[in-house]
């Protein structure tokens, strides 16, 4: 089985002859893989733009609140909360990128998306899914075996990020491939150095 064929096919069990099937019993677990942000990550710019829009909308709606406009009040509250969430997540991501901190870490225990503070143990990973949009953008999704169990370990923004991920792409840990400092294939190869989880592809129409 070729490396490309192995990582892009659905694997349901461990084959001792398969070099991508995870460490065998008695083998040393590989060192953690820390993956940083790709220079000029588009997602950081997009998130920053959304923050600016949310802030502008909030400021505009606030001007109508003193007049007792209930619609403006509700809109200001919603957009204000959206701005806070985006500002916290984006600010943390930018801070980590500037300081060359990792975006994603794979190790013997599981996977961690540092920007959202969401972790998932390998034992709780049902599959790793590569979702490809028509425009070619690919998202790597770590799908939980039990979504409720995974969410039960999270709080605050990490919880809401994971809920959004499960609703949108099917997993609590997800990251766009073009935001990662390494190519997708080496990342998927690394996954199978740590755990024998299936890796599947999915194509979307939107």
Last-in-domain residue among 50, 83, 98: 98
177, two tokens: 């491939």
Same domain, 170 and 130: yes
Between 78 and 196, where is the model more confident? 196
pLDDT at 148: 95
The 10 Å CB-count burial string (b at 16+, else e) for 51-73 is beebbebbeebeeeeeeeeeebb
Same domain, 111 and 191: yes
**Cα dist. 158→7, 48, 147, 181 in Å?**
29, 19, 14, 23
Same domain, 119 and 177: yes
- The answer for residues whose C-beta is within 8 angstroms of residue 107's C-beta and 6 or more apart is 29, 32, 33, 194
Alpha helices in the chain (DSSP H): 3-8, 42-62, 70-98, 147-152, 156-168, 184-194
Handedness of CA 102, 90, 160, 126 (dihedral sign): negative
Hey, is 105 helix, strand or coil? strand
Spatial CA neighbour of 94 closest among 29, 23, 179, 30: 179
Same domain, 190 and 106: yes
DSSP 145: S
26-52 per-position pLDDT tens digit: 567 689 999 988 665 555 555 556 556
Question: Is there a domain that residue 24 lies in?
Answer: no
Q: Are 115 and 37 in contact (CB under 8 A)?
A: no
Last-in-domain residue among 51, 68, 98: 98
Q: Which residue has the tokens 């509250």?
A: 77
Same domain, 55 and 131: no
Report whether pLDDT(10) > 70.
Answer: no
Count of structural domains, the chain: 2
- The answer for residues whose C-beta is within 8 angstroms of residue 8's C-beta and 6 or more apart is 130, 188, 199, 201
88-128 per-position pLDDT tens digit: 666 655 555 555 678 899 999 999 998 888 999 999 999 99
Question: Is there a domain that residue 150 lies in?
Answer: yes
Record the pTM: 0.66
Tell me which residue range forms the domain holding 193: 3-8+29-36+102-203
Same domain, 137 and 162: yes
Spatial CA neighbour of 172 closest among 193, 151, 198: 151
Same domain, 113 and 196: yes
Spatial CA neighbour of 195 closest among 7, 22, 58: 22
pLDDT at 116: 86
């Amino acid at each position: 089985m070729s490396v490309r064929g192995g990582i892009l096919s659905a694997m349901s069990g461990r084959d001792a002859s398969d070099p991508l099937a995870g460490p065998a019993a008695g083998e040393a677990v590989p060192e953690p893989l820390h993956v940083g942000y790709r220079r000029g990550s588009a997602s950081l710019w997009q998130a920053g733009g959304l923050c600016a829009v949310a802030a502008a909308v909030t400021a505009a709606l606030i001007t109508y609140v003193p007049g007792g406009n209930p619609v403006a009040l509700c809109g200001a509250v919603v957009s204000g909360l959206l701005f806070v969430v985006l500002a916290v997540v984006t600010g943390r991501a930018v801070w980590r990128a500037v300081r060359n901190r990792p975006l994603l870490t794979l190790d013997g225990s599981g996977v961690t998306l540092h920007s959202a503070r969401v972790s998932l143990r390998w034992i709780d990973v049902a599959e790793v899914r590569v979702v490809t949009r028509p425009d070619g953008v690919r998202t790597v999704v770590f799908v939980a075996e039990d979504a409720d169990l995974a969410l039960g370990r999270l709080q605050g923004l990490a919880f809401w990020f994971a809920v959004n991920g499960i609703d949108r792409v099917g997993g609590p840990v997800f990251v766009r491939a073009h935001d990662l400092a390494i190519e997708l294939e080496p990342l998927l190869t690394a996954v199978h150095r740590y755990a024998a989880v299936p890796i599947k592809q999915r194509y979307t129409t939107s």
